[in-house]
Structure 1
Amino acid sequence: MQIALGKASGAALLRVGRELVRCTPDSLAEIHCDVYLEQAESGLGVTCHITCPQCPQTGALRPRELLRRAVLDLVSTFEPNGTRITSLRLISLVGADKKIITSVVSLEPSGASAA
């Protein structure tokens, strides 16, 4: 999945997060979400690892809800600081067979023309 947005605002990231959540099955064993951010001149990478819903620390939350909360946390943490989020990469491990599905969401530079 590839989604391009004109500006990586908090609202844009929430739209991306909703799309990722929509495409995420609830049968996942694990979700790995890599978020790449750009702050000032240096690149910055943040990794969010969401474990399986059967694990005690996650309680009864489903993978979609865990992912939704992770995206909301990222928005609230980085957007107020003026950090521009450039891309999201979701790597999902499905069931016991550990099938890997990769979803990449690229956020275009804020200089790109908006619709």
Structure 2
Amino acid sequence: MGQEERLRIADLRLGGAGIRAIARDLGRSASTISRELRRNAHPITRSYRPYAAQKRCVIRAARPKPSKLDDRLLAAVVEERLRKNWSPQQISDDLAVVFAGQAELQVSHESIYQSL
């Protein structure tokens, strides 16, 4: 979603349009519009702020992002399981059980593949 769409969302919202009407106008899913409005609402006034939304989007999309596997403990656990011939999917599934509730110590199988 670009700045033009965000400005259109703000205009439609100010005009009283609902989420589904905005979604139809932009050819987007209602859930996409709902998420956009929720993520980028002013914390106090709850009004949608398209320029702030665009700025946050650019920041979130910045690359390269730090890898979760930069964490030495997590990298050691993953490496140990790779040496035991576990697949990245098996490792990811196991980490979700072993480190349940600790998102920083869980990693997707895609991230493991990328690190190889």
**Category of TM-score, reference length = shorter chain:** under 0.3
Structure with greater helix percent: 2
TM-score (normalizing by structure 1): 0.28
Which has the bigger relative contact order, CA under 8 A and spacing at least 6?
1
